[in-house]
Copies of this chain bind each other. A is one copy, B any other.
Amino acid sequence: MQPPDDVQTPDQVDALVQLSFAVQLVLTRVAAEHDLSVTQLRMLGILRDRTPTMAQIAAYLELDRSSVSGLVDRAERRGLVARRPSETDARVTLVEATDRGFAVGAQIAAAVTRGIQSLLEGSPAPDIEAVVRIAARAIRTAG
């Protein structure tokens, strides 16, 4: 009697978890090079193409709103982001990257790309495409 195709063995689960930690290690190292946490790095990533409200950042990162307050406080103190009031809702605070924030964000993105590429280096293209498919589905599930 065989298990069905889409039931995973512990080995497969383990592989995915290990892979995840390998990726996180890349992120942690890149962040540390700029004296940032992975969370700060993620926030800068968000700000690359958006000017979200505090609450939107919290929703995206799945953090408490008060956690985002602290996060933005520290990033602002480093001159990476700036708070700006909304013009349509006086309760709302928008967060945007400063020039320096954008610059650091770009450097980080490049370093992360290099680091992840080196993880994938040597793997056959079809395997990598399979990962992209799996990721797309997993993200839908996790969201």
Q: Does the CB pair A121–B141 fall under 8 Å?
A: yes
**A107-139 CB contacts (< 8 Å) to partner B:** 112-113, 116-128, 130-139
Q: Does the CB pair B20–A24 fall under 8 Å?
A: yes
Does A106 make an interface contact (CB < 8 A)?
no
1/0 contact string of A16-35 vs chain B (CB within 8 Å): 11111111111100000000
Main secondary structure on A side of the interface with B: helix
In this complex, how many residues of chain A approach chain B with their Cβ under 8 Å: the count is: 49
Q: Does the CB pair B141–A119 fall under 8 Å?
A: yes
**Most chain B beta-carbon neighbours within 10 Å: one of A117, A131, A136:** A131
Q: Does the CB pair B16–A135 fall under 8 Å?
A: yes
10 tightest Cβ-Cβ pairs between the two chains A and B: A130-B130, A20-B23, A19-B135, A15-B135, A22-B142, A127-B130, A119-B138, A5-B125, A20-B20, A15-B132
Residues of A within 8 A of B (CB): 5-8, 10-13, 15-27, 62, 112-113, 116-128, 130-139, 141-142
